[in-house]
Structures are given as structure tokens and as C-alpha cells.
Structure 1
Amino acid sequence: MRLSRRWIPALVAPVVVAAGAVTVPMVADADPGLPARTPQQVLELVATSTEDSFSGTVEQTSDLGLPDLSGLGGGEDGAGAAVELLTSSHTARVHVDGPERSRVQLLEQMSQRDLVRNGEDVWVYDSSEQTAVHTTLPEHEGHEPAQPEGTPAELAEQLLAGVDETTEVTVSGTDTVAGRPVYQLRLDPRTDATLVDFATLAVDAGTGLPLEVRVHAVGQQAPAFVVGFTELDLDTPDASLFEFTPPPGAEVGEQELPDHDGRDPGELPEGPRPEVSGEGWATVVELPVGGDVAAADKSGMLEQLTRPVEGGRALQTSLVSVLLTDDGRVLAGAVPVEQLAAAAR
């Protein structure tokens, strides 16, 4: 996985010293017969993992409290497809061979969507629409590509890179995921201001690869979001899996990426900068976008997803809230809408 070790001290320090109490829970559940490990040891296991070739089946389920919008369709901007991904369960086949070769096949009942990367070439294929779009990635020397989107490792990387002293980290037990023994790493926000209750990362005891992530919302017994492997093969996938040729009859298109003008991919372009308030799990991000965002929506999706509030419209799921203000700002965070409204004043 090759995660940076920079976040290990920030995560481990709060575990060792929490409001003057030195309490580091060890592994209590030894069902797979694993030796006990401290949170620091499990974090180091993830950070030093080099497992970057595998195949498997990933299942994702969501219980975010969003309405069923399947009747609205995808819309020209693809927002419908994004919402549909968050409001129902999905199964995907994932093949990874290093940081530059991957294939994610999202399996639907009557169709399939593929995201294939082979070096600088990326293909996105939708069998229901019979479309294939090709993109050529620019070269960015020294930039390490992220984990393939939608995998447990990708979500785990985001969670671990984003937490700090506002998070308590423990090892809550052991388990078995996709037939492999795992340590359950638990992240608990040290604040009541967030919608997130806690998150657990199932870390493969042998490889350090995160195999499952569960995010729990406050006041909700079942996990609000789960993504995890149900099958896993650590052999190197066949190279042919990363070769893609559009099938006969498919409409083929080319998409050019925005010019970075020599900037690093992580560097923001010129223009309005987001404003950040709060900290840790209660962080609120504000971005000026200009105009009335809700009024500009032609699909009717925002009207169904959001509710009117003073000064704009708001969406609150069990994990994330978004506020669209009448004066052209978007605020978002894992906090209640009321906190976004307070930050907008």
C-alpha cells in the first residue's frame, strides 16, 4: 500500500496520552489465533505494507438516509450516477498490479461499468450506454498515484491521512475478512460535534492491506457505509486484464484533462480558495462557486435531495451535510446542517 509514515505519530500519541490517562487496549478477541498487537503496531503494519498486486471482489453498502432517486436518471453531468452509487449496494471486481495498472469492474444486474488504467492510458466503459471514453494522464514526476477508487485501501488511506490528535485509535479485536485474519483498528472522534460515531479498518494481519472499512453514524446501529473484500487473491493479475479495446458498436470519445501548467496534481489551481474552519472530524470546508447553485440545477435532483433552510438549501445524510447558500457558496462537513449554517454567517 506504501502509505506515508508521517501520520503514525499523530495517530499513536493520542492513544498513549489521552487527557492524562495512559490506556492502550490490546487485542481481546483471538478468534483467528493472532498475537496481540498495539495500535501503533497495526498502524506500522499498514504504513509499511508493500502489497500492491491482487484481485478480488469488493462489496459496498450504504445506509445514509438518502431517498431513492433511481427514477431521475443520470443527468448530463453524471450526478445521478454518483448519487445512485451512494444509495444502494454494489459489487465490483478489482484487479491491481502496482500503482499504474488497475481495473475496477462495477457489476450491475444487466450491465457493467469498467475503469481501466494501464500506465498513462485510462478507459471508462459503460455497457448500458455503449460508451467508451479514453483519457491520457499527464506525467507528474515524483507523484505517487492513489489507490484505485472504491477499494477499502483507498478509503482507509483517506481516513488515516486525515486524522490527528482529535482521534482516539485502538485495536478493538480480531476477525476474518475474505478468508484472511485481520486486526480491527478503530478510530473514535474525540468530539460530539461530528455525525461520525466511529470507523473500523480491518487490516490484513499478513500483508497490512486494509480489507474492509466500516463507518458508523451517531444514533445509527447499522454501519452507514461499508466497503470490503468478500474474495481476495494475492497473485499478480494477468497483464491482459489491463488491456482495453472498445467493443464493436461502442461510441468512443476522448477526454482531455485540464492543463496543470507544471503544477503538482495536489496543488490547487488559480482561483477561489476553500476556507476551512473547525478541526478534525468537525472540520467545515467552504468554497465560493458563484451564483445560485440550487437554482441552476436543471435535473431536479437538488430539489429532491435538499430542503430549504434560511439562506439556501441543505442536504444532511447520516454522515455528511452540505449547505448551498443563496449567495453562491457551498459548505460541507461531517457535521449537522446547523453547524454549517453557523459557519456560513
Structure 2
Amino acid sequence: MSRARQRWLPAFLICLAMGMAVLFGAVQAGASSSLPPKTADEVLAMVANTHVRALTGTVEQNAELGLPDIPTTGPGVAPGAASTLEFLTGSHTARVYLDAPAKARLQILDRMAERDLVVNGSDAWFYNSADNSATHLRAPSPSTGTSNWSLPPAAAHLEMPTPASMASRFLAAIDASTEVTVDSASTVADRSAYRLLLSPRTSGTLVDSVAIDVDSETGMPLGVEVRAKGQAEPAYSLAFTQVELRAPDAAIFEFTPPPGATVTEKAVPAAPAKSNPPPSPQATHGQHGAAATGEGWDAVVSLPAGTAPAGLMADPLLSQALQPVPGGHAVTTSLVSVLILDDGRVFAGMVPLERLQSAALQAAAPNQ
């Protein structure tokens, strides 16, 4: 898949399409503040040049995507199983500790349990208090010269769910399909911020706008708010409610499993050396045979037959979000649609379901 076609797929789209969890997010913007005027290019330059490398903060999520509430306990719900979808509904709070480039901790604080991701050098721990289970990953130490907010090899496949990481997905994708303006200044986590507004120049997407609150002092994104068309309140938001730009105590990144915890050890192989092979026709396809049709906000990503695992439709949690459609099942939200066909093909995009069904028919046409 070309980068131009996949870049408008934010974290929650990948989560829905691949069955991963969006961990948290929510914007808490206060009253407008008075700041010296800046152009959109000037605010974008602030973000690009931010040098914040350490912080301690509280982040809140609010997701109003139109999905049913996902139960976390009850018949058919295995311990930890709800984590795949529950973070796509309602509100969640988390504490975030970062000390780049090799230390990070995320504590998800729910009413009935706490979940932790702790990264310290070449070690990463995942802990769930609901079933007192821990997974330990170990990998070679990170190389020098690591950029802001990158993680060491033990958790290289992860991205800490902060406003900065969410904002980076949208900002990296700005092109002719997007109008970029500066909205009224705001206050987030008691810090004054410039608000960047990204508006799609197409009627084919479910997204109305994306607002990114940029700290006026450091250029660090403090919050991201995504609005759906025809919806008064934000459909998805992610922001700090409290933040201190200082390095956390080193002890925060030390983790020892509690007594009686079930511990699983996993080794992470070293990443292969990067190379620059010549371009080839396959370069327009992503991993696992992913392809795309369309550009920008109304692009549709498709995954080949057999992508959806067997027994997926029988999952008691996922079944509550799925609706039957001709030839398969679908998950529809105010921002994202996912079509799962009976042959295991998957189509996803920030578009109406009808757009996915049309793309599926076009993809099947050459084979008919």
C-alpha cells in the first residue's frame, strides 16, 4: 500500500480493522486564551521542532462512536478479552510517564482493574490486575540517536497512546485533500494552546474535522479531537487533563510482578538491518497483502481472503458490534466502517459502509 493511501488511517481505524485496542484518549479544552496570532504553517513548524522528551501526566479518553457498551465481565467473557473493544466506547483515564528515548509507563485506571505497560531500556512489561497476569518482553538495547518518543526494541511495535502520537498520524498526512487553518486559542491541562483545524476537502468521508491543540510554549500536541459529520459532540478525543514537563522518578519505570502473578516470558529478536531496495511493483502494497483504493480521507484499505480469523463471528464481545450484511458482517461507527466478508476479506475506511461494499464489488469483478 502506498504511504499516500494509508496515511489517513488513524489509530482507531487500524484497531477496528485488525481487532486491536485503542487504549485511551479525550480532549479537555477550557476557555479560549489570548495568544499572539500565528499562521497554520507557523504552528506546524512549532510541532515539528518540539523538543519535549520527558513528562508526567494524566490522559482521558472519550469515545462516542455509536458502538454498544462492551461488557467486561459475565458469561463468555474471558479475562482480558474485553480490552480489544472496550476502549472504543465510553471514557477511560490513564497516567503516562515518559523519559525518552528508552523509558515509558502507561497505567490504565479502570474501576475494576489496572493495566500497565512499562518500558525500561530493553525490557517491556504488560500487566493486568484483573487476572494477575504479566508478560515480559526482552530485546537488545536501543541504538543511540533515538528520536523523541521512540521506544526501545522490546516494545518497538508499540506506540505510546499520547496526544503527540495521535496527532503525528494526522499531521504527517496533510496534503491537497486537507484544508489547514488556525482556530481560536484554547486552554488544555492549564496550558495555553493554538488549535490547528484539519478539514477534509471531500464529501466522501465520515470525518468532519480534526482539531489538534498545540502547546504555545513547547509545540507539543496536548489534545486531539475528531468530529464526525452530523454529530454535535466529538466522536473521539484524546488529551491531557494534567501534565508536568519533567522527568518522572526513575523508580516509576521499575516493575516487579506482584506475588502469585502468572508470568509469561517472550524474547524479541533484533530488528534486521535496514536496506534501500530499488522500487518494485509490490511497493504499492502493504504488509499481509493490504491494498487501497482512493486517496486521502476517503481511501479504502482492503486485506485479502483469509485475513479475518476463523471463529471471529462467534466471539461474544465482537458479535455485539457486528451487524449482518450481504456476504458478511460489518462494524459501523460515526467515524470508521469495517466490512468483513464471509471469505475473510476485510475492507476498512473512514467512509460509509456503502463505499466499502462498492470497493468489495470492484475488487471481485476481475475474478468473475
TM bucket (normalised to shorter chain) is: 0.7 to 0.9
The ranges of structure 1 where at least 4 consecutive aligned residues each deviate by more than 4 angstroms after the TM superposition are: 71-79, 138-144, 257-264, 267-271, 291-296
* Residue type of the alignment partner of 1:236: A
Query: Is the Cα contact below 8 Å between 1:48 and 1:208 reproduced in 2?
Result: yes
Taking the aligned partners of 1:51 and 1:291, their CA distance within structure 2 comes to: 39
8 Å CA contact 1:294–1:303 kept in 2: the answer is no
1:223 to 234, 239, 260: 234
In structure 2, what is the equivalent of residue 344 of structure 1?
A: 360
Residue 99 of structure 1 deviates from its aligned partner by 2.5
Deviation for aligned residue 1:294: 6.8
> Is the CA contact (8 Å cut-off) linking 1:63 and 1:223 kept in structure 2?
yes
CA spacing shift, 1:263–1:47, aligned 2, 3 Å: same
Counterpart residue identity of residue 197, structure 2: R
Residues 79, 131 of structure 2: 8 Å contact kept: no
1:89 counterpart letter in structure 2: S
Q: Which residue of 2 aligns with 1:163?
A: 174
Q: Do 1:181 and 1:205's aligned partners in 2 also have CA atoms closer than 8 Å?
A: yes
Question: For the residues of structure 1 that align with 2:203 and 2:241, how far apart are their CA atoms?
Answer: 33
User: How far apart, CA to CA, are the structure 2 residues paired with 1:79 and 1:286?
Assistant: 26
Alignment of 1:322 with 2:338, yes or no, is yes
8 Å CA contact retained: 2:285, 2:291? no
C-alpha deviations, 1:56-97, integer Å up to 9, x for none?
A: 110101100001121566956955212101112101111101
Distance (whole Å) between structure 1 residues aligned to residue 284 and residue 171 of structure 2: 22
Matched, 1:282 2:298: yes
Q: Which amino acid aligns with 2:204?
A: A
**Residue 332 of structure 1 aligns to a residue in which SS?**
strand
User: In structure 2, do the counterparts of structure 1 residues 294 and 114 end up closer, same or farther at CA, with 3 Å as the change threshold?
Assistant: same
* Contact map agreement 2:322 2:331 (CA 8 A) in 1: yes
Cα displacement (A) at 1:295: 4.6
Residues 271 and 187 of structure 1: is their aligned pair in 2 closer, same or farther, counting only changes over 3 Å?
closer
Q: Distance in 2 between matches of 1:323 and 1:78?
A: 25
List aligned pairs for 1:96-115, cutoff 5 A. Answer: 96-115=98-117
The alignment partner of 2:85 has SS state of: helix
Q: Does 1:238 align with 2:240?
A: no
Give the 3-state SS of the residue equivalent to 1:170 in structure 2: strand
Q: SS in structure 1 opposite 2:169?
A: helix
Match of 1:162, SS state, is coil
Q: Distance in 2 between matches of 1:175 and 1:270?
A: 38
Give 1:25's aligned residue.
Answer: none
Q: 1:291 to 1:159 in 2, by over 3 A?
A: closer
Q: Aligned pair 1:45/2:61, yes or no?
A: no
Conserved 8 A contact 2:96-2:105? yes
Kindly indicate whether residue 209 of structure 2 is the aligned counterpart of residue 198 of structure 1: yes
Matches of 2:121 and 2:245 in 1, distance apart? Answer: 21
Shift of 1:312: 1.2
Q: Which amino acid aligns with 1:277?
A: T
CA distance in 2, matches of 1:233, 1:167: 32
Q: Which digits, 9 at most, give the CA deviation of each residue in 1:197-241, with x for residues without a partner?
A: 001000000001101110000110000011111111111111111
Query: 1:258/1:84 Cα in 2 relative to 1: closer, same or farther (>3 Å)?
Result: farther
Q: Residue 316 of structure 2: which of 275, 300, 303 is its match?
A: 300
C-alpha separation between the residues in 2 aligned to 1:277 and 1:69?
32
Q: Is the 8 A contact 2:226 2:235 kept in 1?
A: yes
Unaligned segments of structure 2, at least 5 residues: 5-30, 152-157, 276-282, 362-368
Q: What is the distance in 2 between the residues matched to 1:250 and 1:94?
A: 23
SS in structure 1 of the partner of residue 226 of structure 2 = strand
Given the superposition, is the C-alpha separation of residues 137 and 168 from structure 1 closer, same or farther in structure 2, using an over 3 Å criterion?
A: farther
1:11 is aligned to none
Sort the Cα spacing of 1:40 and 1:292 in 2 relative to 1 into closer, same or farther, 3 A.
closer
Using the size of structure 2 for normalisation, the TM-score is 0.78
Q: Is the 8 A contact 1:72 1:299 kept in 2?
A: no
Aligned to 1:134: 136
Q: Is this contact kept in 1: 2:292–2:301, CA < 8 A?
A: yes
Higher relative contact order (CA 8 A, sep 6+): 2
- Give a deviation string over 1:167-212, Cα, whole Å, max 9, x none: 1100011011111000000000110100110010000000011011
- Greater shift, 118-127 or 36-45, is seen at 118-127
Instruction: Classify the secondary structure of the residue corresponding to 2:112.
Output: coil
Tell me the secondary structure at the aligned position of residue 341 of structure 1. helix
Partner Cα distance (1:269, 1:245) in 2? 42
Give the distance between the partners of 1:108 and 1:254, measured in 2 at CA. 26
Partners of 1:152 and 1:227 within 8 A in 2: yes
- Deviation at residue 150 of structure 1 after TM alignment: 2.1
Structure 1 residues 83 and 31: CA distance shift in structure 2, 3 A: closer
Cα–Cα, structure 1 residues 242 and 140, in superposed 2: closer, same or farther, change >3 Å? closer
Q: Which amino acid aligns with 1:288?
A: P
- What's 2:325 paired with? 309
Paired amino acid for 2:213: A
Tell me if structure 2 keeps the 8 A contact 1:293–1:324. Answer: no
What is the percentage of aligned positions where both structures have the same residue? Answer: 46
Query: 5+ residue gaps in structure 1?
Result: 1-6, 8-29
Question: 2: CA distance between counterparts of 1:58 and 1:119?
Answer: 23
